[in-house]
Amino acid sequence: MKCPYCGSEGVEAVKSWDMPKMGYRVTHYRCKNCGGLFNHYVGRGKEFVLRVGPRRKT
């Protein structure tokens, strides 16, 4: 699994859950390199990643 923000493979799974209605298994990841958050959806022969609000540095 690669971070969709910075491309680092240093990501960790925070939690995962099922979406029975959608038929997907969702895993929530956090990048240890840039702190970016994203969800990985797997199900029904396909998978995709959705970004979840990148953490901004102020």
Nearer to Zn ion, 35 or 43 (CB): 35
Instruction: Report whether 41 contacts 48 (CB < 8 A).
Output: yes
Identity of residue 56 = R
Give the binding site for Zn ion (CB under 5 A).
3, 5-6, 8, 31, 33-34, 36
Amino acid at 19: M
Name the minimum Å distance from CB 39 to Zn ion.
Answer: 14
H or E segment at 40?
strand 37-43
Q: Shortest distance, CB of residue 21 to Zn ion, whole angstroms?
A: 30
Nearer to Zn ion, 19 or 51 (CB): 51
